[in-house]
Structure 1
Amino acid sequence: MELRHLRYFVAVAEELNFRKAAENLSITRPALSKQIKDLENEIGVKLLDRDTVSVSLTKAGEVFQSDARTLLDLAEKAIERATEAQAGRIGKLRIGSVGVIATDFLPATLKIFNKRYPGVEVSFVEMHPEEQLDALESGTIDVGFAYGTDPLGQAEMDLLCVIKSHFGIAVSKHHPWASRDQVDLAETQRETMLCLGNGSRSHREEVNRFITEEGHPTPRIRSIEGFDSFLTMIAADQGISMLPVVLDLTTQGIVILPFTSKNIFEFKMWAVWKKDTPSEMVTHFIKLLEERT
């Protein structure tokens, strides 16, 4: 049994007239009659009582008509939803979370996105930025974020710069440096440097590389898992860190100070997504990010 059989039967059931139903369906009356007969033979149920002058539904036909209409409605809705999904207007968009660093652009972008595409359910997946390229490759997330001047390496991804800033020294508001205008990078050797993550593309690797390039010894570094824990440790004066000055963490008890050095420690954060045939949902989201940058 095919959907056309249901459409043909419902058309006849509504008109109770083969000629009118055939005209509505743009097929010939004999062809319509054969399709109805084929349907009755296939399901083994007589649906219509018919003679040379009239057509009427059997009791079984009345029940079948109601259910056939429901099935046709469901099929139509399925087609509509598939079309909406292909156009990126419904579905699920999974984004790699980067915590407070994204507060400068992400909440406003999501507000516009949700207004334009209310049928899309946005969810965040907690993970470090260095994990997000692998998550994009595996399909765990649809949009991720990465740091650094060359965040992709050999990955087949597209990217968009969403934040460009430079690093400063992040200290607790209770730290002796908190009231200073700036800090000499050499002074950080006496402190524990707190870093987020521990991978090859991690915050720790970036900080260690920069300090080494500046000609200073490798500092005493402590890696912290989880951005909330990382900020809590800084605010609790358990160490200092290096964070982009664009962040405003004063409400969390953290001050970010400029530091003197030979070079500027540049910070870039990128939105990253699969290069090959991104979904329309991803395309819509990235377009909104572009409009804000």
Structure 2
Amino acid sequence: MELRHLRYFSVLAEELHFGRAARRLAISQPPLSVAIRQLEDSVGARLFERNSKEVRLTPAGQALRVSARRVLQQAEEAALEARDVASGSAGRLRIGFVGAMLYRGLPPALRAFQARHPAVRITLSELNSGVQIAELLHDRLDLGFVHTSRMPPELQHRLLLSEPFVACLPAGHALARKRVLAPADLKAQPFVLFSREASPDYHERILSICVEAGFLPEVRHEVRHWLAVVSLVSQGMGVALVPQAMRHSALRGAVFRPLDRDVAQSEAYGVWRAGPSNVLVERLLEGVALSHAAG
């Protein structure tokens, strides 16, 4: 049984006249008759009673008419949905993100994207970089925002932004009186550090800044989120090196000071599964980059 057969059947069931049905279908009568016979053979029942004067639906034809209309409508809706997804006007996006993206243009980019694509369903999950990569590989995410460029070959990635690290200090700290700090100024200070387990890349970059300044930090606390780093600093639990974007976290009690030299950068990447391009992924990546640039 083919959709073509059901379409021919539905038109004939409405017209109850082979000539008029053929004209509506833009075919001649012989192909229509052949299609109806093929459908009856497939169903195993006569669908029409016909003589020289009239064409009538049999009880089997009347039953099929209802089902055929439903199947054809579902097929049309499925085709429309596929076209909408292909054009980017509908669909879904399962997005993973590291917490720092909340201060790097992700929320305004999502608002703008949702305004342009109201039929797209978005779900968000805050996950560290390693977990996002695993979720992408298992097709449980469509797009991730991560700290690392170390990717398996099944994934593609794009650098979205690169920004300096800055010093984060308790507001009452003696070093907070300085407008600019040298990394070596933080020597012998208790550090709040981003966990190696949560992001080996960030952990190593921060350590490298300290090592290049001639010291190893005295690590008092390791946490898994940048907001937790800033929160502990704001409460006098230590100092930290954090991405510049964390200045927008607006936590009372924490101040941020630029460093006096170029150091390792804090980077954010968009990552997705390799394969056919997803127009929704492309549009959101562009929006995040533009939103960050505007900020």
TM beyond 0.5: yes
- Taking the aligned partners of 2:27 and 2:126, their CA distance within structure 1 comes to 57
Residue of structure 2 in register with 1:280 after alignment: 279
Per the TM alignment, residue 88 of structure 1 is displaced from its structure 2 partner at its CA by: 2.9
Relative to the length of structure 1, the TM-score reads: 0.84
| Structure 2 CA distance for partners of 1:71 and 1:101, relative to 1, 3 Å | closer
Cα deviation, residue 118, structure 1 = 1.9
Seen in structure 2, the aligned counterparts of structure 1 residues 44 and 139 have a Cα distance that, compared at 3 Å, is closer
Alignment match, 1:190: 188
Alignment of 1:209-220 (within 5 A): 209-220=208-219
- Counterpart-to-counterpart distance in 2, 1:226 and 1:264: 21
Q: Which moved more, 1:11-20 or 1:47-56?
A: 47-56
**1:135-214 pair list within 5 angstroms:** 135-147=135-147, 151-152=149-150, 157-162=156-161, 164-199=162-197, 201-214=200-213
User: What is the root-mean-square deviation in Å for CA atoms of aligned residues?
Assistant: 2.8
| 8 Å contact from structure 1 (residues 6, 68) kept in 2 | yes
Residue type of the alignment partner of 1:277: P
Q: Give the Å deviation of 1:204.
A: 1.6
CA distance in 2, matches of 1:154, 1:22: 57
Cα contact 2:205–2:264 (8 A) shared by 1: no
The one-character-per-residue Cα deviations of 1:124-177 (angstroms, maximum 9, x if unpaired) are 2222235544544443433323447xx347756331333x33221112335454
1:73 alignment counterpart: 73
Corresponding letter in the other structure for 2:37? K
Aligned partner letter, 2:25: L
Residues 158, 269 of structure 2: 8 Å contact kept? yes
SS in structure 2 opposite 1:277?
Answer: coil
* Higher deviation after alignment, 242-251 or 112-121: 242-251
Change (3 A) 1:227 1:124: farther
DSSP-derived class of the 2:247 partner? coil
Is the Cα–Cα contact under 8 Å of residues 195 and 203 in structure 1 kept in the other structure? no
CA contact (8 A) 1:129 1:202 kept: no
CA contact (8 A) 2:184 2:210 kept: no
Distance in 2 (alpha carbons) for counterparts of 1:89 and 1:235: 44
Q: 1:221 to 1:211 in 2, by over 3 A?
A: farther
1:208 and 1:242 map into 2 onto residues whose CA distance is 10
For 1:159-206, what per-residue CA distance to the aligned partner results, in whole angstroms no more than 9, with x for missing partners? 1333x3322111233545445434443342333212223147432211
The 3 A distance-change label for structure 1 pair 195 and 131 is farther
Name the CA distance, whole Å, in 1 between partners of 2:81 and 2:246: 41
DSSP 3-state at the match of 2:120: strand
Q: Which amino acid is 1:105 matched to? A: G
Matched, 1:5 2:5: yes
> Structure 1 residues 192 and 180, CA, compared in 2 at 3 Å: closer, same or farther?
same
CA contact (8 A) 2:6 2:72 kept: yes
In structure 1, list runs of 5 or more residues that go unmatched. Answer: none
Shift in CA distance, 236/35, structure 1 to aligned 2, threshold 3 Å: same
* Partner SS state of residue 118, structure 1: coil
2: distance between equivalents of 1:184 and 1:291?
31
Distance 2:289 2:104 in 1: 14
Bigger drift between 75-84 and 95-104 goes to 95-104
Count of residue pairs brought into register by the alignment: 289
Cα deviation 1:261-289 (Å, max 9, x = unaligned): x5444333333344543312212222333
Share of identical aligned residues, percent?
26
Q: TM-score, normalised by structure 2?
A: 0.84
Amino acid at match of 1:65: R
Q: State the alpha-carbon separation in 2 of the partners of residues 170 and 153 from structure 1.
A: 30
How has the CA–CA distance of structure 1 residues 76 and 251 changed in structure 2, closer, same or farther, with 3 Å as cutoff? same
- 1:223 matched to which residue of 2? 222
CA distance 1:214–1:276, shift in 2 (3 Å):
farther
CA distance in 2, matches of 1:58, 1:250: 72
SS in 1 for 2:142: coil
Q: 1:174 to 1:59 in 2, by over 3 A?
A: farther
The aligned counterpart of 1:116 is: 116
